[in-house]
Amino acid sequence: MAYSIAVLPGDGIGPEVIREARRVLDHVAEISHLELRFTSHLVGGSAIAAGLPPLPPETIAAAIAADAVLLGAVGDPSFDHLPPGSRPESGLLALRRDLGVFANLRPAKAWSGLEDSGPLKPAVLAGTDMVVVRELLGGLYYGEPREWNRATDQSINTMRYSRAEVDRVARVAFQLARGRRRRVVSVDKANVLETSQLWRAVVNDVAKDFPDVQLSHEYVDACAMKLACAPASFDVLLTENLFGDILSDEAGAICGSLGLLPSASLGAGPGLFEPVHGSAPSIAGRNQANPSGAILSAAMMLRSGLQQPSAADVIERAVAETLADGFRTADIASPGARVSSTIEFADAVVARLRA
């Protein structure tokens, strides 16, 4: 089978982690008899620096034409002074919108060998294995009107959801739960927000089509606390765009490091696969970043984007073995432990790939 993959390395540590993910993909393609054709394109700060808009027309055209899109990270503090619509991040938001990827899956789990790497007591973290399903195209990120009125110094953003937007992402969460432990926790702020009241009503309606899946609701504040106190109680966590942005960082941190978290953003067309971590400008270009999030995003691309689950398994097993064998990038190393560079860690993953 041959697939075309649009690679968007982006900003900061994006290019160096994506380089390693590509190297892993090249090896897996050989093992699994797949043909992966890569093309590379600018997005975010890297596009702005080249005199282009944050999402150049050439990039979005290539993304739409590809079988899947693999992205590194977007964000560059040297463009912080620009208005929201011109910043690097707006390129990522436009890419998500133009690809129509409304469901963002962010799996977070306790890795064996990493029990002591995170902030939680190992006994609290034990057994944690969840997927955050984040609605990706609605809510405050895209709602109109939005503005900062400089004359009055008043500002507004709009939280907006329609029944159809909630319904389609809820179905993804329930379907996903069917292949797991059959539990969905839907997270909202229905004690205060009308958008959350609609959210809860629609999720309850969708649940009727999935009588085999157990649904419960949590307020977002209580959920943030429960993630820290009882993370193993979650299976599928379904929530709106901004709540999902926040809770997925928390889910990553409690499991050891945000650097480990991959994501898949799915819609009707090609999927978008990207690590959850940002561009981490302070360590960019230093061969220090954890490439696991990018490598595991490549695995999600094989599974959910290209329907090649066994090739995805090959990568995930190799990453698990690399961690279990004690390889540690700086973000997950205990004091005094030997620290692997980005490239050394990926070398160890490549060495553990086998069919």
Q: Is 160:143 a contact under the CB 8 Å cutoff?
A: yes
How far is Cα 248 from Cα 276, in angstroms, rounded to an integer?
8
H or E stretch covering 140: none
| Residue 89 binds which entry of Mn ion, ligand IPM, none, CB below 5-8 Å type-dependent | ligand IPM
How far is Cα 28 from Cα 45, in angstroms, rounded to an integer?
30
What is the nearest approach in angstroms of ligand IPM to the Cβ of residue 71? Answer: 9
Question: Which two three-digit tokens encode residue 83?
Answer: 């208005």
Task: For tokens 């990568």, name the residue.
Answer: 315
| Residue 281 binds which entry of Mn ion, ligand IPM, none, CB below 5-8 Å type-dependent | none
The residue of the chain with the least Cβ separation from Mn ion equals: 245
The b-or-e profile of 285-322 (16+ CB within 10 A means b, else e) is eeebbbbbbbbbbbbbbbbbbbebeebbbbbbebbbbb
| Residue 206 binds which entry of Mn ion, ligand IPM, none, CB below 5-8 Å type-dependent | none
| Residue 173 binds which entry of Mn ion, ligand IPM, none, CB below 5-8 Å type-dependent | none
Q: Mask of contacts with Mn ion, 9-38, x by CB under 5 A?
A: ------------------------------
Between helix 309-324 and helix 342-351 the angle, nearest 10°, is 120
Nearer to ligand IPM, 227 or 311 (CB): 227
H or E stretch covering 241: helix 241-254
State yes or no: residue 74 binds ligand IPM (CB under 6 A). Answer: yes
- The one catalytic residue in 11, 67, 249, 331 is 249
Question: Which two three-digit tokens encode residue 315?
Answer: 């990568």
Candidates 56, 75, 138, 139: give the one binding ligand IPM (CB under 6 A).
Answer: 75
What is the identity of the amino acid at 11? D
- The one catalytic residue in 11, 67, 235, 245 is 245
What is the nearest approach in angstroms of Mn ion to the Cβ of residue 263? Answer: 10
| Residue 75 binds which entry of Mn ion, ligand IPM, none, CB below 5-8 Å type-dependent | ligand IPM
State yes or no: residue 245 binds Mn ion (CB under 5 A). Answer: yes
**Cβ neighbours around 192 below 10 Å, total:** 11
Catalytic annotation on 245?
yes
For ligand IPM, the binding residues in 278-307 under the rule CB under 6 A are 278
Nearer to ligand IPM, 74 or 319 (CB): 74
Question: Which two three-digit tokens encode residue 27?
Answer: 């090896």
Candidates 20, 89, 165, 240: give the one binding ligand IPM (CB under 6 A).
Answer: 89
**Cβ neighbours around 113 below 10 Å, total:** 18
Nearer to ligand IPM, 90 or 322 (CB): 90
Question: Biggest alpha carbon distance in the chain?
Answer: 63
For ligand IPM, the binding residues in 17-56 under the rule CB under 6 A are none
Candidates 60, 92, 95, 251: give the one binding ligand IPM (CB under 6 A).
Answer: 92
What is the identity of the amino acid at 212? D
Catalytic annotation on 142?
no
* Count of chain residues binding Mn ion (CB under 5 A): 1
- Collapsing DSSP to helix, strand or coil, 101 comes out as coil
Q: Is 80:87 a contact under the CB 8 Å cutoff?
A: yes
* E-assigned strand segments in 189-263: 214-219, 236-239
Catalytic annotation on 189?
yes
Candidates 135, 218, 235, 245: give the one binding ligand IPM (CB under 6 A).
Answer: 245
List, by residue number, the catalytic residues.
141, 189, 221, 245, 249
By CB under 6 A, name the binding residues for ligand IPM: 74-75, 89, 92, 245, 276, 278
